Amino acid sequence: MFLSMTGFGRASRAFQWGTVSFEIVSVNHRYQEISVRLPKEISSLESVFVASLRSLLKRGKIRLSAEIDWADDFKTAPINSDVLQSYYSQLCGIAVDLNAPLPDLTALLDLPGVCDSPRLRECEKFGESGDLWRNLVSETVDALMEMKRSEGEKLFVVVEEDLKELERLAGVLSERWTSASEEALSALKNRIEKVMERFDLDLDQNRIAQEISLLADKWDISEELTRLAGHISKFKEIASGRESEGRKLDFLIQEVNREVNTMGSKTGDAEFRWMIVEAKSCLERIREQIQNVE
* Burial bucket for residue 144 (CB in 10 Å: 0-12, 13-18, 19+): buried
pLDDT at 249 (0 to 100): 92
Euclidean distance between CA atoms 71 and 203, whole angstroms: 100
Report, as an integer, the average pLDDT of 145-166. 92
Residue 157, pLDDT score = 93
The phi and psi torsions of 75 (rounded to 5 degrees) equal -75, -30
Least confident of 116-125, 126-135, 225-234: 116-125
Percent of the chain with pLDDT over 70: 80
Using an 8 Å Cβ cutoff, are 275 and 225 in contact? no
Q: Which residues, listed in sequence order, are joined to residue 25 by a DSSP beta bridge?
A: 8, 63
Cα torsion for 47, 49, 50, 53, to the nearest 10°? 160
Q: How many angstroms separate the first and last alpha carbons of the chain?
A: 10
User: How many whole angstroms separate alpha carbon 148 and alpha carbon 139?
Assistant: 14
In this prediction, residue 162 has a pLDDT band, given cuts at 50, 70 and 90, of: very high
Q: Would you state the pLDDT for residue 116?
A: 65
> What is the average pLDDT value for the chain, to the nearest integer?
81
Radius of gyration (C-alpha) of the chain in whole angstroms: 35
User: Would you say residue 120 has pLDDT above 70?
Assistant: no
- The residue-averaged pLDDT of 245-268 equals 87
Contacts of 40-44 with C-beta under 8 Å, sequence gap 24+, read 40/117, 41/68, 41/117, 41/118, 41/119, 41/120, 41/126, 41/127, 42/66, 42/68, 42/120, 42/126, 42/127, 42/133, 44/127
Q: What is the mean pLDDT of residues 223-248?
A: 88
pLDDT at 284 exceeding the cut of 50: yes
pLDDT (tens digit per residue) in 174-204: 888 777 666 666 666 666 666 666 666 666 6
Q: Which helix (H) or strand (E) holds 224?
A: helix 222-239
Per residue in 7-20, pLDDT (tens digit) is 999 999 887 778 88
Beta pairing, strands 7-15 & 32-37:
unpaired
Mean pLDDT of 110-124: 62
Q: What does the pLDDT read at residue 124?
A: 44
Residue 155 pLDDT exceeds 70: yes
CA dist., res. 84 & res. 93, Å (int): 14
Distance CA 136, CA 56 (A): 13
Q: Which position has the higher pLDDT, 122 or 209?
A: 209
**What amino acid occupies position 194?**
K
**Dist CA 266 CA 166 (whole Å):** 20
* Tally of residues, the chain: 294
- The pLDDT value recorded for residue 271 is 81
How is residue 17 annotated by DSSP? T
Q: What is Dmax (Cα atoms) for the chain?
A: 121
- Please give the pLDDT value at position 203: 61
- In this prediction, residue 187 carries a pLDDT of 63
Q: Mean pLDDT lowest for which of 56-60, 132-136, 143-147, 217-221? A: 217-221
How does pLDDT run across 42-82, given as a tens digit for each residue? 787 888 889 889 888 888 899 999 998 877 767 666 777 88
The distance from CA 246 to its chain's CA centroid, rounded to whole angstroms, is 8
> Which of 140, 164, 133 is CA-nearest to residue 236?
164
